[in-house]
Structure 1
């Protein structure tokens, strides 16, 4: 007696991911549409030979940055440009089910957790400090410039004191913190000023000889990429030194005049009728004048 037996495939197995938990590390400057998790790492299989349908869930606050290509055998790709300052890690959850969404049939599911770590990239030029942010995501910070004064005819041997503080720039990609070098790129035609390439200290090479103002342009650039740079204005005003009051060189002057002279006639030195009387004053702020 032969009895044919037909074995029916019952949906009694859940989908299975190759890994239930995986971690990926991607640079901040990864290009949009780049695949960050390949298909072979997140393709779920089903022992019942059912078609597997996938759905990606992201953590609140990072919606829109990552997505899947393909519902059945997906890859995970970057959908929106990253910003390390906004977030540097997130968690994605990939759901797999053996029935389409909305199906009334019994459904088995599985999940895979993807931990995404973002590495800071060298994306920003230097910022002169202090500076003010000019956009809502605080990615651009502009310095209002620096001011200072020097005395005429005086060669300062110390770094110039500037307001609101020393000439100083930082790499806003703070984990990279690339070395910054300084140079004067404008406003220094007379070569009076010099900047230390390492520290940014502004010094004098020679004294100023006129009561002018100098509008210097100082550049701070990354040593590994001069195209990442910032420019700050430095306004230096030359002023007359005024630490001492003027004084007469003699306490008493003696002169001689003749009778019946017309107004405007000379007064002569006492004892030397051929030399006009000179009254002179001096000022220690101008010893060479």
Structure 2
């Protein structure tokens, strides 16, 4: 099995079209098709279902796809590591993140990284927790900032970046607004505002309330922090949010949770092998967290 075969396979899988894949790889379609056929013969299974209208992965092709991405990613990481030893940092850095990453100012850190290492192409995408983790596992992202997951694949690693307690966000007119603390089981019967499933701290809130025996109703679902806080401020529900959200608005009230308050833990997800560019970027994140990195803006 040759690396070029895996590159051709990945191009066809992503383009779902042999002609487009050949143009992307700057080769003749006949040569790309012959390479794919040779790979199928070597593996003893067809990788694509070919019709006149479309190209789809077979079950064998779907099994090969994440492994091909990882293999090609490892080769690129090896090249980057050699370049780094020579004082050069090149290649691509693909970063994923939650919609509102409060533990580090990601745009500023990315800007600093680009200033110091302009030869590295930066890619950034936001998504939900499960999709971010899967994108790292599949090699589409080098690293991702997410909330801690109860389970993670054996070929991935989670490292804690920061943790903070969840608090209750409510409207100024809420009976909870001027309380010193609130117990979770007091929230029975309340309408909630929360993130969409698998987004932000939704999972932590679900687990904490379920453990407290609260069968809650989420009346409003959003996928950004400012909308969540606006709906709460106007009395359309309460929410469990990280304590740092209290710095984002003065229109809602924030009340601590009594007892063993649930914790929102932000982690960075990587493979067990981290490329040179990703390692340098994570060092900058740690410097920013420690206040040793001067960030403009």
Q: Normalised by the size of structure 2, how large is the TM-score?
A: 0.24
Q: Kindly indicate whether structure 1 or structure 2 has the higher relative contact order, using CA contacts under 8 Å at least 6 residues apart.
A: 2
Q: Normalised by the size of structure 1, how large is the TM-score?
A: 0.24
Whose helix fraction is larger, Structure 1's or Structure 2's?
A: 2
Whose strand fraction is larger, Structure 1's or Structure 2's?
A: 1
